[in-house]
Amino acid sequence: MKRIDLTGVALLMLLSLGLNACGATPTVDMPTPVDVNAINTTAMQTAIVELTRRAPTVTFTPTPSITPTSTPTPTMTSTPTITSTATPLHLSLEDNIAIYMVNPIDQENCKYEILPIPVNHGFAGDMETDVRLAISYLLNTKWESSGYLTNPLSSSNLYFTNVEVTGNEMKIMLGGVISRHDDQCLNNEARDQLWATIWTAVRRYEQPVITSISIWVDDLLFDDIMLRG
């Protein structure tokens, strides 16, 4: 019987295993896939948290909703008739300041009279105050005619500014604009209205004794304006 050398067989087997090991494809562990979307989402959330931390806290108060309500329909009622029971004023020239109006008698021939009309204002007890009140009442009376009386001074837009008394002289100052009439007779009437109103207020007082009065409209004499025609 032939004897087999086991030592050689063992060497051949070891050689074969070594060759197989050198030619085999090595096993490599595959890396875990990267989720790019997850990374982006995490970065965005981090940025939002940081911005929120730095931003001031603002509290918004919601605007309350307004519910329109229907406008109630007004109920029309008839206006009651009021019957006046007031007693007409009976003013006297002895107790009240007077202003003067014109009663034209013959306008073509410039014949007229100046009539006193008492106003509902008593005397102040002071000459200068009464002159101011009388002039103011006259210049603020803007009706042109009432009954048979006329008011030619009403076409002018004049107002009282000041009155000064020096010794026996009185200086009266007016402001505004004089509207002259084409008819010189109306200008004469308007002039006489003002003069009569002033002299009546002055002559109620014994002191001071006024002997001279000048009326100025800005820097012009009233008479020079009214009588220059």
Residues 137, 130 contacting (CB under 8 angstroms): no
Cα 93 vs. chain centroid, distance in angstroms? 43
pTM (two decimals): 0.61
Phi, psi at residue 87, to the nearest 5°? -80, 130
Among candidate residues 131, 124, 122, 190, the one with its CA nearest the CA of residue 155: 190
Q: Is 158 within 8 Å of 217 (Cβ atoms)?
A: yes
What per-residue confidence (pLDDT) applies to 21?
Answer: 44
Q: How would DSSP label each residue in 194-219?
A: HHHHHHHHHTT--SS---EEEEEETT
DSSP result, 117-174: EEEEEE--S-HHHHHHHHHHHHHT---SEETTEE-GGGGSEEEEEEEEEETTEEEEEE
pLDDT recorded at residue 20: 46
Strand partners for 174: 160, 217
CA distance 75 to 73: 6
- Domains of the chain, start order: 96-226 (3.30.300)
Distance separating alpha carbons of residues 176 and 156, to the nearest angstrom: 8
pLDDT, one tens digit for every residue, the chain (229 residues): 444 454 444 444 544 444 444 444 444 444 444 454 444 444 444 444 333 333 333 333 343 444 444 444 444 434 333 333 344 457 888 889 999 999 999 989 999 999 999 999 999 999 999 999 999 999 999 999 999 999 999 999 999 999 999 999 999 999 999 999 999 999 999 999 999 999 999 999 998 999 999 999 999 999 999 987 5
Phi-psi region of 211 (alpha: psi -120 to 50; beta: other; left: phi over 0): alpha
pLDDT of residue 229: 56
